[in-house]
Amino acid sequence: MIWSLQAAADLTEKQFDQWSKLLEERAGICLSDQQRVFLQTQVSMRMRELGHTDYSQYYNRVVDGVSGMMEWSVLIDRLVVKETSFFRHKPSVESVRKHLQNRINNDTLDGAFEVWSVGCSSGEEPYSLSMVINDCFSLARRDPYYGVTATDISRAALTIARNGIYPQRKVEMLDPHVRQHYFTQLENGRYQIAPELKDRICFNHANVLNINEMPSAQLDVIFCQNLLIYFRRWLRHEIMNAFVERLKPGGILVVGLGEVVDWANPDVERVTKDEVQAYVRKAG
């Protein structure tokens, strides 16, 4: 029987530990024992593409120097959960609209309105944020003066994000107003994001574990949803503290509801609202 038709061998306990340790060290993602089959399937599929039959041999290839790093960047794309959608958690996205509206109404905008979407996957999240931000500036009849930085560890997801073209199923659930205003339907039935939004977003490859190496630009909004959930509690807390350092006074940090518990930082206070987990940076 040729290898491509053979079922993958089961990962041994030791091999599972080795691979899951690597994933946690390099991406922060902590797999449970129940995810053994997932890990095995993804790793073995990639091995099959390369003609490897032995998990340990492939592991050695992945950890070996520069070529190993290149292989890792392909593999990591298979190991992350990239599920996302436009306005995935609507109350959180709307909290950004409300925040910006208040800032515009109270005339407290200080330079460009800067946003960071962390773990942006294929772009639906930063595009949704851009839509509400654009709406706010249009409503106030002001020039849209904002920028969104969107980062992810998956290069494949970032390619889709930069392309900004989505299948109909991703767009059909949106408000007709949003669809008409921010998308153009292409001849093949797919939908293309409006250039006015695309031009505002800078998509970058970045691992959130390296946050301390990133320039500490001062941001008005840090939006991080459905990412920290994969990390250990101490790591979530560490990253939250690093986020706070990157917020402007008055800026907000919006995380997935319930994704971070037992965390507090003296420089921020929780914006009281049950359905959104957001924190505002105190002045001065």
Ligand X SMILES: C[S@@+](CC[C@H](N)C(=O)[O-])C[C@H]1O[C@@H](n2cnc3c(N)ncnc32)[C@H](O)[C@@H]1O
Residue numbers of the site for ligand X (CB under 6 A)?
27-29, 80-84, 88, 119, 121, 125, 152-154, 157, 207-209, 225-227
C-beta of 52 vs 85, nearer to ligand X: 85
Least distance to ligand X, CB of residue 5, Å? 31
Least distance to ligand X, CB of residue 236, Å? 12
Q: How far apart are CA 84 and CA 121, in angstroms?
A: 7
Least distance to ligand X, CB of residue 266, Å? 26
C-beta of 245 vs 269, nearer to ligand X: 245
C-beta of 81 vs 173, nearer to ligand X: 81
Q: How far apart are CA 213 and CA 207, in angstroms?
A: 10
C-beta of 108 vs 210, nearer to ligand X: 210
Least distance to ligand X, CB of residue 153, Å? 4
| Contacts by residues 187-194 (CB-CB < 8 Å, ≥ 24 positions apart) | 190/165, 190/166, 191/165, 191/166, 191/167, 192/164, 192/165, 193/123, 193/127, 193/164, 193/165, 193/166
C-beta of 47 vs 129, nearer to ligand X: 129
| Contacts by residues 212-216 (CB-CB < 8 Å, ≥ 24 positions apart) | 212/242, 216/245, 216/246
Q: If residue 229 lies in a helix (H) or strand (E), which one and from where to where?
A: none
Q: If residue 57 lies in a helix (H) or strand (E), which one and from where to where?
A: helix 55-62
Least distance to ligand X, CB of residue 206, Å? 6
C-beta of 83 vs 187, nearer to ligand X: 83
Question: Interior CA angle at 83 toward 79 and 88, to 5°?
Answer: 150
Least distance to ligand X, CB of residue 28, Å? 5
